[in-house]
Amino acid sequence: MNQGSDKTAIIGAGSSGIAAAKIFKEAGLAFDCFEKGSALGGNWRYNNDNGLSSAYRSLHINTNRKVMAYSDFPMPDHYPMFPHHSHIIRYFEDYARHFGIDDKISYNTEVRNVSPNPGGGYHVTTSRGEGDYRAVVVANGHHWSPRYPDPPFPGQFTGETLHSHFYKTPDQIDGKNLVVVGIGNSAVDIACEAARLHTGRVTISTRSGAYITPNWIWDRPFDSLANPLTARLPLSVQRWLLKTTLKLAHGDQRAYGVPLPNRPPLSEHPTVSQDLLALAGRGAIRFKPNIREFQGKTVLFADGTSEEADLVIYATGYKVSFPFFEKSFLNVEEQNNLELYRRVVHPDHPGLYFLAFIQPLGAIMPLAEVQSRWIAKLLTGECRLPDQQTMLRAIEADKAALRKRYINSPRHTMQVDFYPYRESILREMKKMKT
C-beta contacts of 126-129 below 8 A and 24+ residues apart: 126/1, 126/34, 128/1, 129/1
168 in Cβ contact with 251 (< 8 Å) = no
Q: What is the chain's Cα-based Rg? A: 22
- The rounded distance, in Å, linking the Cα atoms of 429 and 373 is 8
Q: Please name each of the domains of the chain with its CATH number.
A: 8-145+318-430 (3.50.50.60), 155-314 (3.50.50.60)
Mind listing the pLDDT tens digit of every residue in the chain (434 residues)? 444 579 999 999 999 999 999 999 999 999 999 999 999 999 999 999 999 999 999 999 999 999 999 999 999 999 999 999 999 999 999 999 999 999 999 999 999 999 999 999 999 999 999 999 999 999 998 888 899 998 999 999 999 999 999 999 999 999 999 999 999 999 999 999 999 999 999 999 999 899 999 999 999 999 999 989 899 999 999 999 999 999 999 999 999 999 999 889 998 888 999 999 999 999 999 999 999 999 999 999 999 999 999 999 999 999 888 999 998 898 776 666 788 999 999 999 999 999 999 988 888 999 999 999 999 999 999 999 999 999 999 999 998 988 888 877 766 778 889 999 999 999 999 876 65
Q: Where are the beta strands (DSSP E) in 67-143?
A: 105-106, 111-116, 122-126, 129-133, 135-138
**DSSP-derived pairing of the beta strands 291-296 and 286-288:** unpaired
213 in Cβ contact with 343 (< 8 Å) = no
- The rounded distance, in Å, linking the Cα atoms of 319 and 141 is 10
- The rounded distance, in Å, linking the Cα atoms of 42 and 427 is 29
| Sign, Cα dihedral of 413, 51, 272, 173 | negative
- The rounded distance, in Å, linking the Cα atoms of 108 and 37 is 5
338 in Cβ contact with 142 (< 8 Å) = no
Q: Could you tell me which of 243, 249, 271, 79 has the C-alpha nearest to residue 183? A: 271
205 in Cβ contact with 314 (< 8 Å) = no
